[in-house]
Amino acid sequence: MSSKAATPSVFDPAILGPALRDALVKLDPRQLMRNPVIFVTEIVALLVTALWAQEMLTGIGAPAFSGQIAAWLWFTVLFANFAEAVAEGRGKAQAESLKRGRTDLFAKKLLFPERDGERASEVIPATALKVGDVVLVEAGDIIPGDGEVIAGIASVNESAITGESAPVIRESGGDRSAVTGGTQVISDWLKVRITTRPGESFVDRMIALIEGAKRQKTPNEIALSILLSGLTLVFLIAVVTLYGLALYSGTDLSVAVLAALLVTLIPTTIGGLLSAIGIAGMDRLIGFNVVATSGRAVEAAGDVDTLLLDKTGTITFGNRMASEFVPVEGVSEQELAQAVLLASLADETAEGRSIVALAKSDYGLAEPAAGSGRPIAFSAQTRISGIDIDGREIRKGAVDAVLRFVGIDKREAPAEFNAAVDEIARSGGTPLAVAEGRWLLGVIHLKDIVKPGIKERFAALRAMGIKTVMVTGDNPVTAAAIASEAGVDDFLAEATPEQKLDYIRREQQGGRLIAMCGDGTNDAPALAQADVGVAMQSGTQAAREAGNMVDLDSSPTKLIEIVEIGKQILMTRGSLTTFSIANDVAKYFAIIPALFVSTYPQLGALNIMGLASPQSAILSAVIFNALIIVALIPLALKGVKYRPVGAAALLRRNLLVYGLGGIIAPFIGIKVVDLAVNAIGLI
């Protein structure tokens, strides 16, 4: 799995600079409103700053203390903004290069698009193009917008989006008719019908997505925001009412300490990192060269129950290949291999080449010098091919055709020959008979070779709880054989587009979420119906429009990575939420005794961390609360590691690390900060 868009390191200086500036810009309350927890923190910071100013002016109170509290509350907000800015910054560089390619494009709009051969055109800005316009793109031109090739064939450099420098062929009709705006025609010409409005093209969407400008909260993110807002309200109630309860207990709490208590209790850690987690997840996806049209689709990928995969090209290499040679009695495997090697030397088909490769690799045969012998080419009438060499007539081909060449009936053939033929057919393979003159030599087993490692990937998917379904046009016997070899859970044989659609609908009615990938126009309905539809960049425009993700590498097994990224985003959010809430226990033990120890020295018993003074305890809790956001930025950007070990084991591990760890870590952290605060003499 290649990862062409190199993921920048977490704290790349080129990103940090602008991120620091952005963190300040994001202080604008209108922007912060989107994040209730941090918004509340900013309001509280303002309040404490005002209090500090008042104390400075009147000289009443402890301005040095409230000033420090105010400063750290601002840092808390800034750190949260910074996390988001860093996450956004990582995608911006890529967006910039895409934007440069998009500006100042001109289009040759055809005046008479319906006339073949008529090339009369006017040059207009690409931004003035309308859906349905037909443009001419010639060698050296940049394609002005997304569209469908209606005439011509050309090689196109799509490296601007895919990062792949080898040009690809685009032609009218078939599955290679879609072109993307911003890519360059290298040779020949194309007539392209524009299919998207300016500003809504693939590249535009990609830029918007990378920049996070159009980022909408995903459903799970919204639900989590509600939980966090609810918790914020709960602690707001707890802190505001504490003022009254404290008055009863003979303590008049200052706004600064109440503010400190509030901000440390509300889930600022997850609140501050929430959007960074989502942006970083999308960024990781782009790192895998997959572009999603929405974050919602990525999250849905994490929930996928069933994965529909095309057999050809995904599970198998797509061509039948020789896997073994089965000789008849009296012929050694070596002799058979020698014969088929000679017979296939001139055979340029994929099957022929695979026979040569097998003979060379498994039987150690050397390729004889070319030119000797007379090759017999395959013809539709004879359905056999071979070679006449040194007086030998070696032939290979379909079993009945070779038997006819030999001049015998199937019943007259040796028993082990017939047995081998039947066995190969039953296992889903294709038998090729081999003969020399009047003698049968044996059978070549041609089969769909399952890609190495694919079985392990499906096992991993099964461990994630995802069922894999292989879709193939093969007959059920062949399909079953390949399905069992590849280790898929189910298969759909002799599949038509309607059957695919039906299968998806049936699974969805059972409440399952379906992912599939496809490239052809006939895949479009199924891609649209699936909850996660991954279209191949090499596919048709219809397929790309129907899916909600596009894989720039056109590698169907990438769905597995997509699923993992979807799960990672959720896991990171959940783990940091748990961590954030678990932290509150230690903060109580730091702040509550500090608030009341002057009135009731006996409450010092709760100061189990042995913090130096009430003021340093409160300040340390606030500082820890701010610093932990920065400390967790790398984790938020990288994501909590997903392991396909089953939900229960995963939960146990994450609860242990982030739940128990979340309770313990701040006890240590606050103590360390307290030691530092007193060593520096901040209090």
Partner 1 sequence: MTWQGWLQIGLVLLAVAVVAKPLGLYMARVFAGEGTFLSPVLRPIERGFYRLAGVDPKAEQGWLGYTFGVLTFSFVGVLLLYALLRLQGILPLNPQGFEGVPPDLAFNTAASFVTNTNWQSYGGETTMSHFSQMAGLTVQNFVSAATGIAIAVAVSRAFVRSGAEAIGNFWVDLTRATLYVLLPAAIVVALLFVALGLPQTLAASAGATTLEGASQTIAMGPMASQEAIKQLGTNGGGFMNVNAAHPFENPNAFSNYLGIFSMLVISSGVFYAFGQIVGSRRQAWALLAAVGILLVVGTGAIYWAETFGNPIHLAAGVDPALGNMEGKEVRFGQAMTALYAAVTTGLSNGGVNAMHSSLTPLGGLVPLFLMQLGEVLPGGVGSGLYGMVVFAILAVFVAGLMVGRTPELLGKKIEAREMKLAMLAILILPLAILGFSAAAAVIPAGLAGLANAGPHGLSEILYAYTSAAANNGSAFAGLSANSPWYNTTLGLAMLAGRFAYIVPVLAIAGSLVKKQKVPASAGTFPTDGPLFVGLLIGIILIMGGLQFFPALALGPILEHVLMLAGQTF
**Residue 664 CB contacts under 8 Å (≥ 6 apart), including other chains:** none
Tell me which of 75, 79, 82, 235 binds partner 1, using CB under 8 A. 235
The reply to whether 656 sits near partner 1 by the rule CB under 8 A is no
**Type of residue numbered 289:** N
The reply to whether 573 sits near partner 1 by the rule CB under 8 A is yes
- How many whole angstroms separate alpha carbon 209 and alpha carbon 223? 22
Q: Can you name the residues that pair with 615 across neighbouring β-strands?
A: none
396 is in an annotated binding site: yes
The reply to whether 567 sits near partner 1 by the rule CB under 8 A is yes
- How many whole angstroms separate alpha carbon 358 and alpha carbon 351? 11
Q: What is the bridge-based pairing of β-strands 374-376 and 384-389?
A: antiparallel
The reply to whether 173 sits near partner 1 by the rule CB under 8 A is no
Nearest approach, Cβ of 595 to partner 1 (angstroms)? Answer: 8
DSSP for 584-598? Answer: HHHHHHHHHHHHHTT
Q: In the range 509-548, which residues lie near partner 1 by CB under 8 A?
A: 510-512
Element holding 582 (H helix, E strand):
helix 559-596
From first CA to last CA, the distance across the chain in angstroms is 54
Nearest approach, Cβ of 574 to partner 1 (angstroms)? Answer: 3
Tell me which of 578, 615, 620, 625 binds partner 1, using CB under 8 A. 578
649 is in an annotated binding site: no
Q: In the range 325-364, which residues lie near partner 1 by CB under 8 A?
A: none
The reply to whether 305 sits near partner 1 by the rule CB under 8 A is yes
- How many whole angstroms separate alpha carbon 353 and alpha carbon 321? 8
What would the two tokens of residue 543 be?
């397929």
> What character string, x for contact with partner 1 (CB under 8 A) and - otherwise, covers 408-447?
----------------------------------------
Tell me which of 107, 224, 432, 488 binds partner 1, using CB under 8 A. 224
The reply to whether 242 sits near partner 1 by the rule CB under 8 A is yes
Q: In the range 113-142, which residues lie near partner 1 by CB under 8 A?
A: none
Tell me which of 17, 125, 199, 230 binds partner 1, using CB under 8 A. 230
Which range of residues in 317-325, 495-503, 594-602, 608-616 is near partner 1 by CB under 8 A? 594-602
Of 299 and 553, nearer to partner 1 (C-beta) is: 299
The reply to whether 216 sits near partner 1 by the rule CB under 8 A is no
> What character string, x for contact with partner 1 (CB under 8 A) and - otherwise, covers 73-112?
----------------------------------------
Tell me which of 76, 180, 229, 616 binds partner 1, using CB under 8 A. 229
400 is in an annotated binding site: no
- How many whole angstroms separate alpha carbon 234 and alpha carbon 324? 70
Q: Can you name the residues that pair with 169 across neighbouring β-strands?
A: 155
Count residues contacting partner 1 (CB under 8 A)? 74
Tell me which of 437, 652, 668, 672 binds partner 1, using CB under 8 A. 652
The reply to whether 452 sits near partner 1 by the rule CB under 8 A is no
Which range of residues in 186-194, 224-232, 325-333, 607-615 is near partner 1 by CB under 8 A? 224-232
What would the two tokens of residue 172 be?
């009218």
202 is in an annotated binding site: no
Alpha helices in 59-158 (DSSP H): 63-102
CA dihedral 75, 77, 79, 85 (to 10 degrees): -140
The reply to whether 607 sits near partner 1 by the rule CB under 8 A is no
Q: In the range 244-273, which residues lie near partner 1 by CB under 8 A?
A: 244-249, 261
3-state secondary structure of 385: strand
Angle, CA 570 vertex, CA 642 and CA 161 arms, to 5°:
80
Residue 53, number of CB atoms within 10 A of its CB: 14
Of 363 and 667, nearer to partner 1 (C-beta) is: 667
For 596-629, b/e burial (b = at least 16 CB within 10 A) is: bbeeeeebeebbebebbebbbbbbbbbbbbbbbb
Tell me which of 366, 370, 648, 680 binds partner 1, using CB under 8 A. 648
Residue 27, number of CB atoms within 10 A of its CB: 15
Tell me which of 220, 427, 478, 521 binds partner 1, using CB under 8 A. 220
Active-site residue (options: 283, 310, 448, 551) = 310
CB 67 within 8 Å of CB 51: no
For the chain, count helices (H), then strands (E): 23, 20
The reply to whether 638 sits near partner 1 by the rule CB under 8 A is no
Nearest approach, Cβ of 401 to partner 1 (angstroms)? Answer: 49
3-state secondary structure of 113: coil
Nearest approach, Cβ of 634 to partner 1 (angstroms)? Answer: 19
Nearest approach, Cβ of 253 to partner 1 (angstroms)? Answer: 10
3-state secondary structure of 437: coil
CA dihedral sign of residues 376, 379, 381, 385: positive
Residue 455, number of CB atoms within 10 A of its CB: 15
The reply to whether 641 sits near partner 1 by the rule CB under 8 A is no
Which range of residues in 127-135, 239-247, 379-387, 525-533 is near partner 1 by CB under 8 A? 239-247
Tell me which of 557, 654, 677, 683 binds partner 1, using CB under 8 A. 654
What would the two tokens of residue 116 be?
């073949």
Q: CA separation (Å) from 68 to 267, 408, 590, 622? A: 21, 100, 17, 10
Which range of residues in 33-41, 61-69, 541-549, 570-578 is near partner 1 by CB under 8 A? 570-578
Of 346 and 664, nearer to partner 1 (C-beta) is: 664
Of 353 and 462, nearer to partner 1 (C-beta) is: 462
What would the two tokens of residue 455 be?
């079985």
What would the two tokens of residue 662 be?
């979340």
103 is in an annotated binding site: no
- Give 111-117's long-range contacts (Cβ < 8 A, gap of 24+): 113/191, 113/193, 116/151
Of 439 and 600, nearer to partner 1 (C-beta) is: 600
**Type of residue numbered 620:** S
DSSP for 585-653? Answer: HHHHHHHHHHHHTTT-GGGGGG-TT--S-HHHHHHHHHHHHHHHHHHHHHHHHH-PPP--S-HHHHHHH
The reply to whether 672 sits near partner 1 by the rule CB under 8 A is no
Tell me which of 603, 627, 630, 631 binds partner 1, using CB under 8 A. 603
Tell me which of 568, 616, 620, 625 binds partner 1, using CB under 8 A. 568
The reply to whether 584 sits near partner 1 by the rule CB under 8 A is yes
DSSP for 138-201? Answer: ETTPBP-S-EEEEEEEEEEE-HHHH---S-EEEESSTT--EE-TT-EEEEEEEEEEE-S-TTSS
Nearest approach, Cβ of 489 to partner 1 (angstroms)? Answer: 11
Give me the residue label for tokens 């048709």. Answer: 540
Q: In the range 483-512, which residues lie near partner 1 by CB under 8 A?
A: 510-512
The reply to whether 588 sits near partner 1 by the rule CB under 8 A is yes
Which range of residues in 197-205, 231-239, 286-294, 364-372 is near partner 1 by CB under 8 A? 231-239
384 is in an annotated binding site: yes
| 104 among known catalytic residues | no
Element holding 194 (H helix, E strand):
strand 184-194
Nearest approach, Cβ of 618 to partner 1 (angstroms)? Answer: 14
Give the active site residues: 310
Residues making up the binding site for Mg(2+): 519, 523
Where is the binding site for ATP, in residues? 347, 351, 378-385, 396
